[in-house]
A and B are shown apart, each in its own frame.
Chain A
Amino acid sequence: MHRFAKPSVFLKFTAPILPWLSALTVILIAAGLYFSLIGSPVDYQQGHTVRIMYIHVPAAWMGLFCYVGMAICGAMSLIWKHPLADICARATAPVGATFTALCLITGSLWGEPMWGTWWVWDARLTSMLILLFLYLGYMALVNAFDDPERGSKAGSALALVGAVNVPIVKFSVDWWNTLHQPASIVRMDGPAVDPSMQVPLALMILGFTCYYFVVLILRVRLELNERRIRALHLSGMFEDPETPASANEQAYEAGHNAEAKQ
């Protein structure tokens, strides 16, 4: 585990994986979309609206998955102080927040025809909304410090504290009996969904998960490259003795320093 925590190893290790993973994501989502939109039967009660499920459920899964990932990264960065764990957590937050928002939006689109309402203050919906707030709080917190490392550390602590919400989201439908249907996929006596719907759902869930890893790798690489550029700038590598650094840049640096001193 520690071996992979070095940025250079991460870059070397993920470079060959990325194209394959991207291809796999495209195939999974394309197949999933085909089966969920065309290849699967219409629900006998819900009609075509049931197809919202194929986006809604994977999005909900990803919202939770990303939060757990973020909390684990937070724990790793607190325990072993790996900078890569910080970067992973930072890179995960916006993705998870987007999936959570997507889940809430598709849920309300689904709820309107099914329950006759866009929103109910049901335990599952409310805890999912809290999840979104936690993501937003995390993102606001990590960006609120002048020192990015300090932001990451504070964020790690918040990610861990907020993790209490994850089991609440998962079990809310079992603990409180309200409009939202009970768990139908992950449960003790096997899934309660017909195989014809289970297959496209599984494809979509796998596709979304792969998509997350592709985006994660891309975002981590971007961040590493940005850091490298910043480090090179600071060390003066880019400064050509013939042509002095542009006035703009100097002004920016001066402004930045003044800001940091305040």
Chain B
Amino acid sequence: MNGFLAILQRDLRLALRQGADSVMVVAFFIVTTTLFPFGVGPEVNILARIASGVIWVSALLAAMLSLERMFQADYEDGTLELLTLSPVSLELLILGKVLAHWLTTGLPLIIAAPLMAVMLNMDQDGFVTLMIAMLLGTPALSLIGAIGAALILGARRGGVLVSLLVLPLYIPVLIFGAGAVEAALLGISATAQLQIMAAILLLTLAAAPFATAHAVRQAME
């Protein structure tokens, strides 16, 4: 457990001192979302209709953008090699890194999401559900993304590759995330979608650290 906390602290401190990364993710999210009114036209009804999907897709892309640096810097300077050799289980350390990644990218996205929802003219009924859905969905994005980020270690053009690997696996989160908000906007209970999102989160929480640890280990061989 100490190792987990230590790596969490280290990654958070690194993220805070470098600062820019976290801000970049939110900025990317906001810029992408703002592109949609230009693309589909500023008509209020249309924007309100597509708001939940737009927010989710932008969040997905923003989360993906930050994946590459999850392990890359540690891989290049040798830290990752030391982590694999440490007596603490690598799965736990990876969970720490994922949590740090979520705190620095997922959480800011959740905070920025209602702002974008207002800008896209989304109905207020959907706000709470949007927050809950993102709270359940973004950790799953970080967990799934960790697998992709670990798989591309040492690959050529890894940044582009990770999108091809990770985005197909993100689709369930997108479907149910947007579906939950959609249901709430229609005045139907979104419990079913939120439960499925919780299930996805639990499943990725159980499986992703092992897959990621495996990928990291074989990158070290």
* B-binding residues in A (CB < 8 A): 78, 126, 130, 133-134, 136-137, 140-141, 144-146, 150-151, 153-154, 157-158, 160-162, 165
Shortest CB distance A85–B (Å): 15
Known A-B contacts A141-B155, A141-B165; A160 and B218 likewise in contact (beta carbons under 8 Å): no
Provide the main secondary structure of the chain A interface. Answer: helix
Which residue from B156, B157, B218 sits with its C-beta under 8 Å from A154? B218
The answer for the CA separation of A176 and B36 in the assembled complex, in Å, is 29
Cβ–Cβ contact A154 & B158, under 8 A: no
B218 touches A150 (CB 8 A): yes
> Are A130 and B211 touching (Cβ within 8 A)?
no
A161/B211 contact (C-beta < 8 A), A137-B165, A153-B218 known = yes
A and B contact pairs by CB, cutoff 8 A, 11 listed: A78-B214, A133-B167, A134-B168, A141-B155, A141-B165, A144-B156, A144-B157, A150-B218, A150-B221, A154-B152, A161-B207
Q: Output the least CB separation between B86 and chain A (Å).
A: 22
* From A78, A144, A160, contact of B161 by CB (8 A): A144
The residue in B164, B167, B215, B219 that gathers the most chain A C-beta atoms within 10 A of its C-beta is B164
Tell me how far the C-beta of A76 lies from the nearest C-beta in chain B, rounded to whole angstroms: 15
The answer to whether A154 touches B168 (Cβ under 8 A) is no
Contacting pair A140 B156 (CB below 8 A): no
> Chain B: which residue is nearest A147 at the CB level?
B154
CB-CB < 8 A to B156: which residues of A?
144-146
- Docked-complex contact A140 and B169, CB < 8 angstroms: no
Give me the interface of B with A, judged by CB distance under 8 Å: 147, 151-152, 154-158, 161, 164-165, 167-169, 171, 207, 211, 214-215, 218-219, 221
* In contact, A158 and B161 (Cβ under 8 angstroms): no
Shortest Cβ gap from B191 to chain A (Å): 18
B154 adjacent to A133 (CB under 8 Å): no
Contact (Cβ within 8 A) B151 A162: no
Q: Which 10 A-B pairs have CB atoms at the shortest separation, nearest pair first? A: A144-B155, A133-B168, A137-B164, A153-B218, A137-B165, A154-B151, A130-B168, A157-B215, A144-B156, A145-B155
Q: Known: A144-B152, A144-B156. Contact between A158 and B165, CB under 8 A? A: yes
Task: Give the complex CA separation of A157 and B207 in angstroms.
Answer: 12
A141 touches B147 (CB 8 A): no
Q: A137-B165, A154-B218 are in contact. Are A161 and B155 (CB under 8 A)?
A: no
Q: Which residues of B contact A158 (CB under 8 A)?
A: 147, 151, 165
| Nearest CB of B to A125, in Å | 13
* B151 (CB) vs chain A CBs: closest residue: A154
CA distance A153 to B215 in the complex (A): 8
Would B147 and A162 count as touching, CB distance under 8 A? no
Chain B hits for A144, CB < 8 A: 152, 155-158, 161
Having A133-B168, A140-B164, A154-B215, one finds 12 other A-B pairs with CB under 8 Å, namely A130-B171, A137-B168, A140-B161, A140-B165, A141-B165, A144-B152, A154-B219, A157-B214, A157-B218, A158-B147, A158-B151, A161-B169
CA distance in complex: A145, B154 (Å): 7
Known A-B contacts A141-B161, A144-B158; the reply to A161 vs B147 at CB < 8 A is yes
When the two chains form the complex, which single residue of A154, A157, A160 contacts B155, counting CB atoms closer than 8 Å?
A154
Q: Shortest Cβ distance from B195 into chain A, in angstroms?
A: 15
Point out the residues of chain A lying under 8 angstroms from B147, CB to CB.
Answer: 157-158, 161
